[in-house]
Chains A and B, each alone.
Chain A
Amino acid sequence: MGIGEEKIHLVKYRTYVFVWMGLVCLTALTYTVAVGIHPGGWAILVALAVAGTKSGLVLSYFMHLKSEKPLIFKVIIPLVMAVFLVFILLTFSDVAFRGVVE
């Protein structure tokens, strides 16, 4: 299969609607946990886990990463996330151990 002969992957409308329903349910979940149940220190973890799951759904289905054939699409996201993780670790290794400046 050469350039220009790539098959177009058609996603069913129904699949998109299911993904959207999932996203709305996750929003309802994260809202309820934060506003209703309010589990203190767990709130940040729950909110971030839900946000991570939601963005995963958007990336895989709406942005078609799931059906992207070339390997490069599977590699670049983890690569950028790894770079971002390095930024986080470097920043916090500074912030956490920095002395108090009077």
Chain B
Amino acid sequence: MAPMILRSLKTMDEAKAPAFEGAIDYTGAKLGMWLFILSELLLFGGMFILYAAHRYKTPADFHNASTELDVILGTLNTIILLTSSLSVAVSITAIQKGDRRLSMVLLMVTMALGLLFLVNKGIEWTTKIGHGIYPNSPALLARPKGEILFFGLYYVMTGLHGLHVLVGVCVLSVMLILIAKHKINQMPFTPLENSGLYWHLVDIIWIFLYPLFYLIT
């Protein structure tokens, strides 16, 4: 993702050069980001297929294991991520309208919600680990094969997703600094827009993780 953001930053610099004044290729910058996002969707898609195949093979084990997850905490985290998507979307419109203050406040709200999501995830993981359920733990290995697979997938998929949330928070904090330094203004807002696209991608992945792990029992 870094190259996409850097590329969109580069377009900002190019915008300063007199010869290219006003020549910002929004479509090109966004298309690059979209290609990255789609490759990410296929990365998670592969794991969704793995989940579906194992669930198909051992439905009873998946049923038993999924009832052990905290549905309330999962639902709360869903609402948190949806709200953070709203705040980052409004933040981008705000910078387009030239309202830097609102944009920065909403970016901070988004980052706070992202961190809150990670705190909840941490509580969830710690509780599970406290019960002796973690990859390769004796308590987990003593369980049926399907349950071992379910928790393995649970840790890998929510872990990789959590990592994406963390990266998203870091990217948004860079955007916050850029706005504060007047590097992102009304016109070259592409870096912020692309960061927003990344944040929504993280939201979409969770939209599918939530029913698969917490709801379908």
Residues in chain A within 8 A of chain B (CB atoms): 3-6, 8, 10-13, 16-17, 19-20, 23-24, 27, 30-31, 34-35, 43-44, 47-48, 50-51, 54-55, 58-59, 61-63, 68, 70, 72-73, 76-77, 80, 83-84, 87-88, 91-92, 95-96
Cβ-closest chain A residue relative to B187 = A8
28 CB < 8 A contacts A-B:
A3-B27, A4-B22, A4-B24, A4-B25, A8-B26, A8-B96, A10-B93, A13-B93, A16-B90, A16-B93, A20-B82, A31-B75, A31-B215, A43-B215, A51-B210, A55-B204, A58-B85, A58-B203, A62-B196, A62-B203, A63-B200, A73-B30, A73-B31, A76-B38, A80-B38, A87-B45, A91-B53, A95-B57
Question: Given A12-B93, A51-B211, A92-B53, list of 7 further CB < 8 A pairs?
Answer: A10-B97, A27-B82, A30-B215, A54-B207, A95-B53, A95-B56, A96-B56
* Contact flags B153-170 to A (C-beta < 8 A → 1, else 0): 000000000000000000
Distance A91 CA – B26 CA, assembled complex (angstroms): 38
Given contacts A24-B79, A62-B85, A30 and B45 within 8 Å (CB-CB): no
B:96-113 near A, CB below 8 Å? 96-97
Is the beta-carbon distance between B211 and A34 smaller than 8 angstroms? yes
If over half of B's interface residues share one DSSP class (helix, strand or loop), that class is named, otherwise mixed; here it is helix
Of the residues B27, B52, B97, B211, contact of A47 by C-beta under 8 Å: B211
Instruction: Answer yes or no: B78 CB below 8 A from chain A CBs.
Output: yes
| Shortest Cβ distance from residue A3 to the other chain B in the assembled complex, whole angstroms | 5
A62 lies within 8 A of B53 (CB)? no
Contacting B86 at CB < 8 Å: which of A8, A16, A51?
A: A16
A43 to B216, CA, bound (A): 6
Q: How far is the CA of A58 from the CA of B200 in the complex (A)?
A: 7
Q: A80-B41, A80-B42 are in contact. Are A24 and B211 (CB under 8 A)?
A: no
A contact residues around B200 at 8 Å (CB): 58-59, 62-63
B133 within 8 A of partner (CB): no
B211, A30: Cβ atoms under 8 Å? yes
Interface residues of B (CB under 8 A from A): 22-27, 30-31, 34-35, 38, 41-42, 45-46, 49, 52-53, 56-57, 71, 75, 78-79, 82-83, 85-86, 89-90, 93, 96-97, 196-197, 200, 203-204, 207-208, 210-212, 215-217
* Most chain A beta-carbon contacts within 10 A, residue among B23, B82, B90, B196: B82
* Distance A24 CA – B211 CA, assembled complex (angstroms): 14
The 5 closest A-B pairs by CB, nearest first: A47-B211, A34-B215, A4-B23, A20-B86, A80-B38
Q: Give Cα A96–Cα B53 distance, bound, in whole angstroms.
A: 9
Contact yes or no, B78 A27, CB < 8 A? yes
Minimum Cβ distance to chain B for residue A50 (Å) = 7
Chain B residue with Cβ nearest A45: B216
Contact B86 A55 (CB under 8 A): no
